[in-house]
Amino acid sequence: MLKPLLLLCAAAAGAGWYAALPPRAAPLPPAPAGLTQPVRGAIHVHSNRSDGTGDLDAIAAAAAEAGLQFIVFTDHGDATRKPDAFRYRSGVLCIDAVEISTEHGHLVVLGLPQSPYPLGGEARDVLEDAARLGGFVIAAHPESAKPELQWTSWDSTLAGLEWLNADSEWRDETGWTLTRAMLSYPGRPTESLASLLDRPVSALDRWDALTRTRRIVGIAGSDAHARIGFRSLGEPYDAGSSLHIPSYQQVFRLFSNALPGTALTGDAAVDGLAVIAAIRAGHVYSTVDALGGPAAMSFTATSGTATAAGGDVLPLSGPIALRIELQAPADAQVAVIKDGSVLETRTGALVELTEPAAPGVYRVEVTLPAAPGDPAIPWIVSNPIYAGRDPAEPPPAPRPRATSFAELYKDGPAAGWVVETSPASVARIDEIKAVGGLQLSLRYGVGGAASAGPFAAFVMPAGPELQKFTQLTFVGRADKPTRVSVQLRSPAGPEGERWHRSVYLDPEPREVTVYFDEMTPRGPTSQPQPNLASVQAVLLVLDTINTPLGGNGTLWIDDVRYAR
């Protein structure tokens, strides 16, 4: 008597559970003639080389199952690991990139070679190093609910941002939505993950604001780890967590990045470069495949004889004809966004409209009526077409040339200079002959336990003239690419106060200028910029932010002076 009742209860509960599952993705009508399926892939994927749970082969196999053609791996690192060559695994093109932690958030960097020293520290320095090394830099999870994971250096020369980051979307959710998604995950995993997505308003607003002044590429970052994602831990994840939810395959089925202009040849070396070039150019749109797909879109704008696609600059020579063609259900809503505001929303799979010949930034968001989220997550998001924009980015305005100087060191003995090091590090100053007199050779070795904060520093007296000046200049070179922290130190407070600006040196001698108003605190200080009245020492510091532990080398320094 009891048994059938239990079975009945279980069946009723099961039916209720089934009825409560999120709806399946809608089937799409056939693609319009001429619209082909783009190459699709996942960007921002962690393997067990950092805090992911899968190895490269297993992750590639999961991507193949999900119908993707490429993966961009972004294990946490400082870019000193030599990246793997482009390679096909399970038919999926694998691109080895890196996620770098800076003091202003995380960066996903594609196309970097092995860096000669660790990349880290301030965002502006990592961006400068990545640009010198030829990398393409994307702000990861820029608007994460976790403040320490947000990107906070928007004034710098970022090349891209994640308008969508899956990990941020899980972190946003609490309470019933999350519980329901966890309950329905075993039955309909991809749709359950999709039910957690909302339109990431602040990231999209940020993107729109940035595109008003420069080109910046938007992508959807999977941030896939296959670790329990429904939690509020920091990043990297702690290794104790072993529940592999959501799985790589389900995250890969959730959304992807489509490269409409790219064709793969099967030659990994060629295809890897082509995929990175397409992302760099902004020839990419994102699709939330869990809502319907695989989606295909063509977005172009024509003015006179010139035609541009998403990511491109369109030179203006007449009215702008915008054309959006989709493989989409008839009730898809196509919003054309101009300069961050919705210009027009139309329904259907073909949208054509004409705009006057005036500068503007146009992008497209396509939404399906049944989409989850509040506000609803868009189904397709294009990159912008920059109409009437100068294709060359305006260079930053140069600071005026200095006209007044005070000498700190030139051609003589290093009067008053001393070295300071952590216990297991070494430093030595020598005067050596150079063209036109003497210069200083500064030799260092940085060693010891990373936890002890190893450093080697060359310290010169600041002298009484400092307060009258605005910058420090010197001629410097290094035996190899090196990043040196130039610091001003005041004895104020129990530990002293320091402000710094890091500079790049290599075997090519160059004049380096450090502006005092660009310096930032190292450790606690009483004010954000150097207190010049109390500064007593100028330091050149090598530490493990940008010097490998166990690394050593030589700097050559001459003509140290204050300027204004």
Of positions 75, 122, 143, 223, contacts Zn ion by CB under 5 A: 223
Q: In this complex, which beta carbon is closest to Zn ion, that of residue 238 or of residue 508? A: 238
Q: In this complex, which beta carbon is closest to Zn ion, that of residue 99 or of residue 355? A: 99
Cis peptide before 246 (omega within 30 of 0): yes
Q: In this complex, which beta carbon is closest to Zn ion, that of residue 223 or of residue 312? A: 223
Within residues 72-131, the interface with Zn ion by CB under 5 A covers 99, 106
Strands of 236-378, DSSP E: 256-259, 285-287, 297-303, 306-309, 313-314, 320-326, 333-338, 341-347, 350-355, 360-367
The residues, ordered by sequence, that sit 6+ positions from 463 with a Cβ below 8 Å of its Cβ are: 406, 408
Of positions 140, 288, 296, 366, contacts Zn ion by CB under 5 A: 140
CB of 121 to Zn ion, least distance (A): 16
Q: In this complex, which beta carbon is closest to Zn ion, that of residue 236 or of residue 496? A: 236
**Virtual torsion, Cα 48, 50, 56, 62, nearest 10 deg:** 70
Query: 162, 138 in Cβ contact below 8 A?
Result: yes
CB of 142 to Zn ion, least distance (A): 10
The residues, ordered by sequence, that sit 6+ positions from 278 with a Cβ below 8 Å of its Cβ are: 259, 261, 262, 284
Q: In this complex, which beta carbon is closest to Zn ion, that of residue 140 or of residue 210? A: 140
Q: What is the Cα–Cα distance from 253 to 450, expressed in whole angstroms?
A: 40
The strand pairing partners of 89, in sequence order, are 92
Q: In this complex, which beta carbon is closest to Zn ion, that of residue 25 or of residue 224? A: 224
227 counts as binding Zn ion under rule CB under 5 A: no
Query: 64, 88 in Cβ contact below 8 A?
Result: no
Which class for 33: exposed (0-12), middle (13-18), buried (19 or more C-beta within 10 A)?
exposed
CB of 107 to Zn ion, least distance (A): 9
CB of 544 to Zn ion, least distance (A): 21
Q: In this complex, which beta carbon is closest to Zn ion, that of residue 122 or of residue 223? A: 223
CB of 367 to Zn ion, least distance (A): 27
CB of 46 to Zn ion, least distance (A): 6
**Between 232 and 271, how does the x/- string for binding to Zn ion read (CB under 5 A)?**
----------------------------------------
Stretch that binds Zn ion, among 132-140, 226-234, 448-456, 524-532 (CB under 5 A): 132-140
Query: 514, 564 in Cβ contact below 8 A?
Result: no
Q: In this complex, which beta carbon is closest to Zn ion, that of residue 151 or of residue 207? A: 151
DSSP state of 23: P
Total residues in contact with Zn ion, by rule CB under 5 A: 4
Within residues 307-346, the interface with Zn ion by CB under 5 A covers none
CB of 113 to Zn ion, least distance (A): 21
188 is written with which tokens?
A: 């309909």
CB of 241 to Zn ion, least distance (A): 15
Q: Which residue is nearest to Zn ion (CB)?
A: 106
CB of 381 to Zn ion, least distance (A): 20
Stretch that binds Zn ion, among 62-70, 170-178, 218-226, 281-289 (CB under 5 A): 218-226
CB of 106 to Zn ion, least distance (A): 4
Report the DSSP pairing between strands 552-563 and 471-478.
antiparallel
* Three-class SS state of 123: helix
Q: In this complex, which beta carbon is closest to Zn ion, that of residue 118 or of residue 260? A: 118
Whole-angstrom CA distances from 460 to 368, 408, 486, 492, 536 are: 65, 9, 11, 17, 9
* Three-class SS state of 163: strand
Q: In this complex, which beta carbon is closest to Zn ion, that of residue 223 or of residue 365? A: 223
Which class for 507: exposed (0-12), middle (13-18), buried (19 or more C-beta within 10 A)?
exposed
Within residues 419-458, the interface with Zn ion by CB under 5 A covers none
Positive or negative, the CA dihedral 548, 549, 553, 556 is positive
Stretch that binds Zn ion, among 216-224, 270-278, 297-305, 547-555 (CB under 5 A): 216-224
CB of 69 to Zn ion, least distance (A): 21
Q: In this complex, which beta carbon is closest to Zn ion, that of residue 141 or of residue 498? A: 141
Ordered alpha helix ranges (H), 195-267:
201-211, 248-254
Binding site for Zn ion (CB under 5 A): 99, 106, 140, 223
